[in-house]
Structure 1
Amino acid sequence: MVSTKHSGVAGDRPLGTGGEDELGFRDVARRIAQSLVDHASDKGLVIGIEGAWGSGKSSLLFLIEDELAKLPQAQRPSVINFRPWLVGNRDALLANIFASLSKEINLVALRAGDASGISKEKAKAAGEALRKFVSGLGNAGSAVELAGDAIAFAPLKWIGQGLRVAGSWAKGKSADPSLDVLKDRLVQSLRDLGHRFIITIDDVDRLEPAEVIEVLRLARSVADLPNVIYLLCYDCDILAHSVEQASRVQDGRAYLEKIVQLTVMVPQPEPFRLRQWFGDELRQFSSTRSEDELSRLRSVVDVEGGRQLRTPRSVVRALDSLRFFWPPIRDAGGDLADLVWVQLIKDSNPALYRWIEDYCATAAVLTLGTVRVDDAERAQQLKALHAAVAPEHFADHNYRYYFADPLPAASVDFAQDGNGFTLFQRVSDVERDAAITAGRLASPDHYRLYFALSGPSHALTHCDYDAFWAAADKSPDRVAAVLLQLYAIELTGSLSKADLLLERLGGVGDEMLTPNRCWNILAGFADVMDDAYRARPFDQGWIVSLWSRATALIARMVARLEPDPRAVLIRHIFGEGRALGWLTTLMRKETFAHGRYGNRAKPDSEWLFTNEELDEIFELMLERIRRLTIDELLTTVRPLDILFAWKQAGDEDGPREMLRRGIETDAGLIGVLEKMTTIHTSSDRGSYSVLSRGNLDAFLDFDDARQRIEALRIGNNALEVRAKALARAFRDDDGF
Structure 2
Amino acid sequence: MFDADRPIFSSEQDRLNRAVFAKYLARCMLDHHDSESLVVGLYGGWGAGKTSVINLVVEELNFAASNMEDEEKPIILNFSPWSYSGQHQLIYNFYRRLSSALRSVPYLTHSERIIHLLELYASFFTQKPIPKSLRPKQSLWRKLTFKEQEDVYAWESGRDLTQVKAELNELLRRQRHKIIIIIDNISRLYDYEIKQIFQIVKSMGDYENTIYLLAFDKEQVIHAINKIDDSHDGEKYVEKIVQLPFEVPPILQQDLENILADRLEEIILTIPEDAWNTEYWADVFYSSLKFFFQNCRDITRYVNTLNFSYSRLRDVVNPVDFFALTAIEVFMPDVYFGIRDNKDLFTDLMDNVYVLDEEKRAKDRLRCDEILARNKRVPREILLELLLLLFPRLRQIYQPDLPFFHSTTVARKLKRICSPDLFDAYFRLSLQTGQIPESEFKTILALAADDEEFDQVLTRLNQDDRIIKFLDQLDSQVISHIPHEHIHCIVNSLIDNGDLFPQGISGPLSLSTPMRIHRIIHRLLQRINTSEDRFAMLQNAIARASKSLYIIVHELTEQAREHTEEEDTFLPIEFRDVTPEQLNLLRKLAASRIESWAKTGRLSEHPRLLPILFAWLDWGNEENCRHFVEQMTDSDRGLITFLSATLDKPITEAMHQYEKKPEWEEYLKDIEAFIPTKKLEPHAKTLFEDPYFEKLKEREQLGLMIFLDLIKASTSKIIPQTSP
Q: How does the TM-score come out when normalised to structure 1?
A: 0.53
After TM superposition, list the pairs within 5 Å mapping 1:183-262 onto structure 2. Answer: 183-262=165-244
Three-state SS of the structure 2 residue aligned to 1:70 is helix
* CA drift at 1:542: 3.4
Matches of 2:302 and 2:322, distance apart in 1: 11
Instruction: Report the alpha carbon displacement of residue 358 of structure 1 after superposing the two structures with TM.
Output: 1.5
What letter matches 1:254 in structure 2? Answer: K
Which whole-Å deviations, capped at 9, do the CAs of 1:326-367 have from their partners, x for residues lacking one? 22222x342221122112223332221211222238767947
DSSP 3-state at the match of 1:230: strand
**2:305 paired residue number:** 321
* Structure 1 residues 454 and 184, CA gap change in structure 2 (3 angstroms): closer
User: Structure 1 residues 47, 351: CA separation in 2 closer, same or farther (over 3 Å shift)?
Assistant: same
Q: How much has 1:439 moved relative to structure 2? A: 2.9
Contact 1:581–1:636 under 8 Å retained in 2: no
Amino acid at match of 1:107: S
Q: Which residue in the other structure is 2:319 paired with?
A: 336
The structure-2 alpha-carbon separation of the partners of 1:494 and 1:345, relative to structure 1 and needing over 3 Å to count, comes to closer
1:566-581, aligned counterparts within 5 Å?
577-579=600-602
Aligned position for 1:345: 328
2:43/2:247 contact within 8 Å kept: yes
Counterpart residue number, 1:3: 2
Provide Cα deviations, 1:460-484, integer angstroms capped at 9, x if missing partner: xxxxxxxxxxxxxxxxxxxxxxx9x
In the alignment, the residues of structure 1 paired with residue 502 and residue 376 of structure 2 have an alpha-carbon distance, to the nearest angstrom, of 56
Q: 1:282 to 1:545 in 2, by over 3 A?
A: farther
Match of 2:390 in 1: 406
Q: Give the match's secondary structure for 1:274.
A: helix
Letter in 1 for 2:278: L
How far apart, in 1, do the equivalents of 2:366 and 2:111 lie? 74
Query: Aligned residue for 1:284?
Result: 266
Which of these residues, 21, 46, 63, is aligned with residue 53 of structure 1?
46
**Aligned amino acid, residue 3 of structure 1:** F
Give the counterpart of 2:622 among 617, 621, 631: 631
* 1:295 paired residue among 279, 287, 297: 279
Residue pair 1:199, 1:231 contacting (<8 A) in 2 also: yes
Match of 2:48, SS state, is coil
Task: Evaluate the alpha carbon distance shift between residue 546 and residue 297 of structure 1 in structure 2; reply closer, same or farther with a 3 A threshold.
Answer: farther
Contact persistence 2:292–2:377 (CA under 8 A): no
Shift in Å, 1:312: 2.8
Identical aligned residues as a percent: 22
Contact 1:334 / 1:440 at 8 angstroms: preserved in 2?
yes
Q: Which letter does structure 2 place at the counterpart of 1:201?
A: I
1:43 alignment partner AA: E
Answer yes or no: is the 8 Å Cα contact 1:530–1:582 preserved in 2: no
Partners of 2:158 and 2:45 lie apart in 1 by: 47
* Equivalent AA in structure 2 for residue 132 of structure 1: L
Amino acid at match of 1:36: M
Q: Shift of residue 175 of structure 1? A: 6.5
Partner Cα distance (1:300, 1:52) in 2: 27
SS at match of 1:233: strand
Q: Quick check: 1:87 aligned with 2:49?
A: no
* 1:311 partner amino acid: N
Q: Does 1:101 align with 2:101?
A: no
Kept after mapping to 2: 8 A contact 1:446/1:455: no
Equivalent position amino acid for 1:221 in 2? S
Residues 156-180 of structure 1: per-residue CA shift (max 9 Å, x gap): xxxxxxxxxxxxxxxxx97712211
Q: Distance in 2 between matches of 1:223 and 1:636?
A: 104
Q: Secondary structure at the match of 2:342?
A: helix
The question of whether the paired residues in 2 share the 8 Å contact of 1:122 and 1:192 is answered with no
State which drifts further: 121-130 or 99-108: 121-130
Residue 267 of structure 1: SS of its match in structure 2?
A: coil
**Residue number in structure 1 paired with 2:417:** 441
- Cα distance in 2, alignment partners of residues 100 and 530 from structure 1: 74
Output the amino acid matched with 1:337: V
Q: Is the 8 A contact 1:297 1:336 kept in 2?
A: no
Alpha-carbon RMSD = 5.0
| 1:259 shift after superposition | 0.6
**Letter aligned with residue 381 of structure 1:** R
Gaps of 5+ in 2: 131-154, 436-458, 472-495, 504-512, 518-537, 550-595, 607-615, 629-672, 674-724
Given candidates 8, 20, 32, the residue that maps to 2:13 is 20
State the match for 2:119 in structure 1: 131
Distance across 2 between alignment mates of 1:192 and 1:445: 79
For 1:313-712, list aligned pairs within 5 A. Answer: 313-330=297-314, 332-360=315-343, 366=349, 375=360, 378=364, 381-389=367-375, 393-395=379-381, 400-407=384-391, 409-414=393-398, 431=408, 433-453=409-429, 491=467, 541-542=540-541, 547=546, 577-579=600-602, 630-631=621-622, 633=624
Post-superposition offset of 1:534: 13
Equivalent-residue separation in structure 1 for 2:354 and 2:347 (angstroms): 10
Match of 2:478 in 1: none
Q: Within 1, Cα distance between the matches of 2:98 and 2:293?
A: 40
The residue type equivalent to 2:105 in the other structure is V
Whole-Å Cα distance in 2 between the matches of residues 304 and 575 of structure 1?
60
SS in 1 for 2:77: strand
Deviations 1:677-731 (A, max 9, x none): xxxxxxxxxxxxxxxxxxxxxxxxxxxxxxxxxxxxxxxxxxxxxxxxxxxxxxx
User: Distance in 2 between the 1:27 and 1:544 partners?
Assistant: 82
Q: Distance in 2 between matches of 1:543 and 1:22?
A: 70
Whether the 8 Å CA contact 1:352–1:385 is kept in 2: the answer is yes
Amino acid in the other structure paired with 1:440: R
CA apart distance, 1:99: 0.5
Q: Which residue of 2 aligns with 1:31?
A: 24
3-state DSSP class of the match of 1:79? strand
How big is the shift at 1:215?
1.1
Give the 5 Å matches for 1:164-183: 176-183=158-165
Shift in CA distance, 20/174, structure 1 to aligned 2, threshold 3 Å: closer
- How far residue 47 of structure 1 moved from its aligned partner, in angstroms, is 0.6
* CA distance in 1 between partners of 2:502 and 2:340 (Å): 38
CA distance in 1, matches of 2:626, 2:428: 46
Q: Are 1:3 and 1:19, in contact at CA under 8 Å, matched by a contact in 2?
A: no
Secondary structure of 2:104's match? helix
SS of residue paired to 1:323: helix
Which of residues 234, 240, 246 is equivalent to 1:264? 246
| Alpha-carbon separation, structure 2, partners of 1:366 and 1:444 | 6
Per-residue deviation, 1:385: 2.1
SS at match of 1:49: strand
Q: Do the aligned partners of residues 239 and 279 (structure 1) sit closer, same or farther apart at CA in structure 2, a change above 3 Å counting?
A: same
Residue 249 of structure 1: how far off its partner (Å): 4.0
Give me the whole-angstrom Cα distance separating, in 2, the residues matched to 1:180 and 1:326: 64
Q: CA deviation at 1:192?
A: 2.9
Letter in 1 for 2:15: E
Q: Which amino acid aligns with 1:186?
A: L
Paired residue type of 1:44: S
Amino acid aligned to 2:429: L
How far is 1:256 from its partner? 1.4
Contact 2:11/2:19 (<8 A) preserved:
no
Letter paired with 1:578: G
Calculate the TM-score normalised by the size of structure 2: 0.54
> Residue by residue, what CA displacement relative to the aligned partner does 1:409-468 show, whole Å, maximum 9, x if unpaired?
4324356xx8x999xx9x99x61x533433332244543443343899789xxxxxxxxx
Hey, what's the Cα distance between the residues in 2 that align with 1:410 and 1:361? Answer: 11
Distance 1:302 1:318 in 2: 17
Query: Would you say the 8 A contact 2:37–2:208 is kept in 1?
Result: yes
Once the two structures are TM-superposed, the CA of residue 130 in structure 1 deviates from its matched residue by 1.8
